[in-house]
Amino acid sequence: MADFEIVFRTHSEIEAQIVRGLLEAHGIMSVLSSAVPHSIFPLSVEGLNDVRIGVHSSEADEALRIIEDHRTELKNGEVIRLRDEFETLQQAIGYRFKDRGLLEHAMTHTSRANEDVSGGVVDNESMEFLGDALLGFVVADLLFHEFPEFDEGEKSKTKASLVSTASLARQAERLRIGEHLLLGKGEEKTGGRRKQALLADGYEALLAAIYLDGGIEPARGFITREFRDLIADVRRHGVGGEDYKSALQELLQSRDQPLPEYRLVNTLGPDHSKLFEVEVVVRGEPLSRATGSSKKDAEQEAARAALEKLKSP
């Protein structure tokens, strides 16, 4: 379904056929796909399959409008509104999904799946597994080519730091993945959108979704863009360089506090010799300020000052 977009999903094949007839009556051809492989379940079992209807990308908007206009007649299915719900996330990652159902799947935490009594919601754990393997491969390849002078131990240490839970959680926070996670009520109440582990898992699942939707090249390109600055930091500060931002984030997480925000509050000096002043904010309250020759350096210094403040008696 390379040129098709999913516009409707239901557990009822009868309802799926009704929707197909509705679309065809308006001149829109559609295709059916099921989340249950027919090689495993050759017989269709009503209420078991997650049946999806796809239409050509150029007709997706019109198909959604038609289905929505007849919404009162559709009892079990749901209109897929990933175009709206995940639009900001797609913009942030610089990739548009052909099958937006993959993106929804990647954002579905096990707590949401466990609360679904129909059994039709699948969590993202398998996608986390795939994304973790994909990320490890691409980052290892990047380090192999970027740091030929590093021995095996240095490469392994660098890779472990780059793909750590704290590192991936920071990447996820920057992309605001937490806002798009589909959580169960219990996980929502306990602040799941701010938990490092959930953010990192969602990030890995997102990588898998990009790979499954577009193949290895879009996934590799995304990871390369995401880790370009981090790899540059390794070249500047070395393998064992102190990462105060990571340390601050881990300390705040251990105290059940939200992730810190870094705000640029001032720019000083001429263009050829600028200094950047950055403020660290937690729960809307400023913790510290610092300056640096780059925003990243200023953020690191501000994080160091915040750590000292939080650790002081």
Report the CATH number that the domain containing residue 72 is assigned in CATH: 3.30.70.790
Query: Quick one: tokens of 91?
Result: 């913009």
Residue 144 shares a structural domain with residue 223: yes
| Predicted confidence (pLDDT) at residue 239 exceeds the cutoff of 80 | no
In a domain, 90, yes or no: no
Domain end among 204, 237, 270: 237
Residue 309 near residue 244 (C-beta atoms within 8 A) = no
Residue 48 shares a structural domain with residue 148: no
In a domain, 100, yes or no: no
| Predicted confidence (pLDDT) at residue 3 exceeds the cutoff of 80 | no
Would residue 99 show up in a list of annotated catalytic residues for this protein? Answer: no
Number of independent structural domains in the chain: 3
User: Among 187, 204, 213, 299, which one carries the catalytic annotation?
Assistant: 204
Q: Which of 123, 105, 112, 140 is nearest to 210 (CA)?
A: 105
| Predicted confidence (pLDDT) at residue 180 exceeds the cutoff of 60 | yes
Query: Of 54-58, 112-116, 173-177, 232-236, where does the model show the most confidence?
Result: 173-177
Residue 176 shares a structural domain with residue 263: no
In a domain, 154, yes or no: yes
Residue 45: predicted pLDDT: 37
Residue 199 shares a structural domain with residue 170: yes
Q: What is the pTM of this model?
A: 0.58
Residue 181 shares a structural domain with residue 225: yes
Residue 46: predicted pLDDT: 38
Residue 39: predicted pLDDT: 33
Residue 131 shares a structural domain with residue 231: yes
For residue 276, what is the domain's CATH number? 3.30.160.20
Residue 303 near residue 291 (C-beta atoms within 8 A) = no
Residue 138 shares a structural domain with residue 233: yes
Residue 220 shares a structural domain with residue 267: no
In a domain, 49, yes or no: yes
For residue 210, what is the domain's CATH number? 1.10.1520.10
Domain residue limits at 51: 1-80
| Predicted confidence (pLDDT) at residue 38 exceeds the cutoff of 60 | no
Residue 43: predicted pLDDT: 34
Residue 261: predicted pLDDT: 93
Would residue 204 show up in a list of annotated catalytic residues for this protein? Answer: yes
CA–CA separation, 8 vs 267, rounded Å?
50
Q: Which of 243, 241, 242, 238 is nearest to 150 (CA)?
A: 238
pLDDT, tens digit, for every residue of 137-146? 999 999 999 9
Residue 119: predicted pLDDT: 64
Residue 138 shares a structural domain with residue 180: yes
User: Among 128, 132, 173, 201, which one carries the catalytic annotation?
Assistant: 132
| Predicted confidence (pLDDT) at residue 212 exceeds the cutoff of 80 | yes
